[in-house]
Structure 1
Amino acid sequence: MGKRYGDSSVRVTSAGTIVIAYFVYLIAQLFAVGILLSTTIGFEVWAVILVVGTIFVLYTLTGGMQAVARTDAYQLVVLVAAVLITLVLVITKVGSDGLSWSDGPGLSQFLGGPVPTWMLAFGWGLSWGLGVACMPNYLQRILSCPDVRTTRLVLGWGSAISFWLVNAPILVIGIGIAIIDPSMTGDSALPSFLLTHGGTIIAAIALTGLISAVMSTTDSLLHVMGVYFGRDIVCTLRKTADDATALKLSRISTCVIGALAVATATFMSFSPLPLILTFASYAVSLLAAGLFVPLFIGLLWQGASKTGAVASMVVGVIVLIVFEVLRKQGVIELHGIVPTLVCAIIAMVVGSWWDGRRVEATATEPTTAEQPVASTV
């Protein structure tokens, strides 16, 4: 973003948007592992968040990107095995119990409650689609590849494996559980199903896979936040280009942000927890509101400028927050991402137009060049 628009303010603003959004997303992930182990083993949610959070903060802090990449590789193997085992269990149960896949639940079954309007459902889908497209932890994995060949393999085979071995089976599993037992809803549906229908061994493998899925996300989120805050915000504002200083600041940022996230999630766990999907949607909505327009319009429109990019990010985040507060109070039913995108695009166009006018004005101003004074000897 900084190189595209040639301005440090764009770099700082975009990094700040990512850090805020990922902080919310990180808390949702900590809730997930807390609810998972609380449902299956009976541990207190706050204790799980505190212990597991401390572990992942420590290995992310000490190992950096190498630790994130290595642990993700191991966790992926466990995750895929768990997903496939659970998929077979669900399909078998649906077939043996005389149930039909045509009896699939409505959208409300997955969202933890009734969906007031189709426009709200559309807004949720739009915010997730555009938000995930702006997630830098996916881009970071690609940028960490050592060469072009590896990058192509990651983009091609990695995407195919992720979809067919993880995402598509998880969708089938969710539908199947809702058909088998409609009373199993919310964040505890999958662990409850595994304990009831899976048996000890299958449940243990599947639950280990769920924990791996959570941990593989939390460490990359924390690493992104630490590096972005230390290098892209602090170093940019201090005009520090030294790699050793940037690394030190990134590690300090990782430690502070991680400790703050664990403390915040632990404190929030003493109150009734929101649905994880709903809470995580705030994070992806912030990413979509602040980054989608300057990122993708910046790629497609050569006339996009730094003022337009900053204005789009600031306006997008503010409009989203305002509309989501109004929706929570029952004033409107429309998801905030829809008007947010409109306002963000307008801000981008107006800001870029303003920069263009200033450039034209500067170019047409008369210049008075100094005339050389003849010297007499």
Structure 2
Amino acid sequence: MEAYKIWAIVSLLIYFAALLVMSLWKTKNETKEDFFLAGRNFPHWALALTFVASWFGGNSALISIDQAFEEGISAWWIIGSPSVLAVLALMIFAKAIRRVGSMSQSGIMEKRYNKTSGALLSVLIVWYMITWGASQMVAISNFFSSIFGISYGLTLVICVAICIVYATIGGFRAVVFTEMLQFGFIILGLLITLGAALYFSNGFDAIKAAAVAKEKTEYFNFFAHFGKNFLFLFSFGLAWVIDAAAWQRVSAAKSPTEARKISFATMIYFIPIYFLVVIIGVAAGAIFTELPEGGIVSSLVKDYLHPFLGAIVLVGIGAAIMSTITTTMNAGSLYMTELYRTHFNKNASEKQLVRFGMLGTIIISVFGMIIAVRIPDALWVLWMSSDILAAGLFVPLIFGFFWRRGTSTGALASIIFGCGFVLYNFFIDLGFNLPSFWPGDARRILIGVAIGFSAYFIGSFLSKPEYAKADKFMEETQFLKRTKDQSDDQMINL
């Protein structure tokens, strides 16, 4: 067996053992709030670290590097730009989200609109978490199977089983503890990969010469391919502003002020990390003439790095992906538990809800694995899941904070028509012979968002106003009051 495989196996076993120990440490899951929000006891810096670790998954660590190798520095727009945009928007809404006090977005929708809209949101969030988790499962299975030479399916089962164990045992508390550890490995692994890419590329002149030889004239143009990249920014950005895992971390803050600090700290972490992966991909352009089978990172580990350093990179990349997988498990099971409590067992005890949350974690994982086997394309699966949020949930959820005329009918119409359009296209992509009168590529998300936006406003204007409910919600969130106060302060300063 090659030396790098021995180092990698030993390192991964030690790492997985550490995850299990941390998931059992100080485990306290007596109530639903303990299991899904860790009792709201973590400081903002810890939640910010887990925010980064959960979002910076396989698509960021692997796909962005490979995309940068192919397209140059403009690849930053694919994953980096929507992540920064989403965090900036969350900085605006963080305090209002925390003031509501709900554990989930479904609770917010119920307070602002009605139970039906909350239930529909829960169903779609569960679907989103399953597909988002599936995209990460694809990434980690492709990565490790290329490293160890074992089958994609076996790798998928092993990695997901490990995630299930510590996410089920420890709940959100275990997710936070393990993601803090994973964040350190992510950064260390990226720095080692960056050093290797820069060293073996022989410097900027060699990188530039390689780009010229490959006739990639826009390799160093930050705004190249902007038409296509804008669709990533638009689709991912709108979806990630209302990402349920992100809102879960904001809701887990000790106070509204701490909630906003989470968003700010996350943005500070995100900006350099996403540029880091782009630099790695660009530097690799002088090492490889074409994209290696298994990806850039896999080839650097096997063929260029010392086995010990390669093992650290493997753990770092694995940490990035597994942290996101466990986040989707925990967040998805939260919404399944909300559906169970609201519509099937209103008198469920806290212990029953915790047990159902554990079961939900397993269910989310199984369905994610099915999709990962059926559609082994991580970026495509991620895009599909993001479109659902962008087209159907963004408008009613965000506009509910400040548009008083928005009604339950409008919210339901937006969810049904916006998400219905995305799901219809999903079945077309799966091979169903259905009629289509719009572009079959990424541009259709523009149509989906327009449909969801129009349905919300038309449905709201055609239905009876719900001012009393809207005023009560807005008074609770204090969003408009806070915005007005900030504007007044800025005018005074001017």
Q: After TM superposition, is the score higher than 0.5?
A: yes
Distance 1:84 1:68 in 2: 24
Gaps of 5+ in 1: 110-114, 360-377
* Match of residue 283 from structure 1: 385
**Deviation at residue 219 of structure 1 after TM alignment:** 0.5
State which of 271, 283, 286 in structure 2 corresponds to 1:163.
271
Residue correspondence of structure 1 range 45-84 to structure 2 within 5 A: 45-84=152-191
Contact 1:240 1:246 in 2 (8 A): no
> Are residues 1:355 and 2:457 paired?
no
Residue correspondence of structure 1 range 183-262 to structure 2 within 5 A: 183-184=290-291, 188-231=295-338, 233-238=339-344, 240=346, 242=348, 243-262=350-369
Provide, for residues 122-158 of structure 1, a one-character-per-residue CA deviation record: whole Å limited to 9, x for no partner: 3233111112212111121222223456434422223
Residue correspondence of structure 1 range 280-359 to structure 2 within 5 A: 280-323=382-425, 332-334=439-441, 335-356=443-464
Distance 2:130 2:218 in 1: 27
**Deviation at residue 187 of structure 1 after TM alignment:** 5.6
**Deviation at residue 218 of structure 1 after TM alignment:** 0.5
Larger Rg: 1
Task: Classify 1:358/1:19 alpha carbon distance in 2 versus 1 (closer, same or farther; 3 Å).
Answer: closer
* Match of residue 100 from structure 1: 207
> Are residues 1:122 and 2:224 paired?
no
Instruction: Give the counterpart letter for 1:314 in structure 2.
Output: I
**Deviation at residue 95 of structure 1 after TM alignment:** 3.8
Distance 1:181 1:199 in 2: 18
* Match of residue 193 from structure 2: 86
Provide, for residues 54-78 of structure 1, a one-character-per-residue CA deviation record: whole Å limited to 9, x for no partner: 1211211111111111110100010
Contact 1:222 1:258 in 2 (8 A): yes
**Deviation at residue 36 of structure 1 after TM alignment:** 1.0
Gaps of 5+ in 2: 1-107, 468-494
Distance 1:38 1:31 in 2: 11
Task: Classify 1:355/1:127 alpha carbon distance in 2 versus 1 (closer, same or farther; 3 Å).
Answer: same
> Are residues 1:131 and 2:239 paired?
yes
* Match of residue 364 from structure 1: none
Q: CA RMSD in A?
A: 3.0
Equivalent position SS for 1:23: helix
Question: Matched residue pairs, number?
Answer: 346
* TM-score when normalising by structure 2: 0.63
State which of 150, 156, 159 in structure 2 corresponds to 1:43.
150
Distance 2:347 2:450 in 1: 37
**Deviation at residue 277 of structure 1 after TM alignment:** 1.4
Equivalent position SS for 2:401: helix
Contact 1:123 1:336 in 2 (8 A): no
Task: Classify 1:257/1:100 alpha carbon distance in 2 versus 1 (closer, same or farther; 3 Å).
Answer: closer
**Deviation at residue 250 of structure 1 after TM alignment:** 2.0
**Deviation at residue 213 of structure 1 after TM alignment:** 0.3
Instruction: Give the counterpart letter for 1:145 in structure 2.
Output: A
Instruction: Give the counterpart letter for 1:289 in structure 2.
Output: A
> Are residues 1:34 and 2:108 paired?
no
Provide, for residues 290-330 of structure 1, a one-character-per-residue CA deviation record: whole Å limited to 9, x for no partner: 21111222223121111111110111111223456668989
Equivalent position SS for 1:80: helix
Distance 1:37 1:357 in 2: 55
Instruction: Give the counterpart letter for 1:312 in structure 2.
Output: S
Distance 1:344 1:179 in 2: 45
Distance 1:300 1:180 in 2: 52
Task: Classify 1:6/1:198 alpha carbon distance in 2 versus 1 (closer, same or farther; 3 Å).
Answer: same
* Match of residue 112 from structure 1: none
**Deviation at residue 107 of structure 1 after TM alignment:** 12
Distance 1:149 1:344 in 2: 32
Contact 1:50 1:263 in 2 (8 A): no
Task: Classify 1:47/1:93 alpha carbon distance in 2 versus 1 (closer, same or farther; 3 Å).
Answer: same
Deviates more, 1:321-330 or 1:282-291: 321-330
Contact 1:187 1:275 in 2 (8 A): no
Distance 1:134 1:182 in 2: 40
Task: Classify 1:212/1:81 alpha carbon distance in 2 versus 1 (closer, same or farther; 3 Å).
Answer: same
Deviates more, 1:212-221 or 1:298-307: 298-307
* Match of residue 177 from structure 1: 284
Contact 1:81 1:209 in 2 (8 A): yes
**Deviation at residue 88 of structure 1 after TM alignment:** 2.2
**Deviation at residue 222 of structure 1 after TM alignment:** 0.4
Deviates more, 1:22-31 or 1:330-339: 330-339
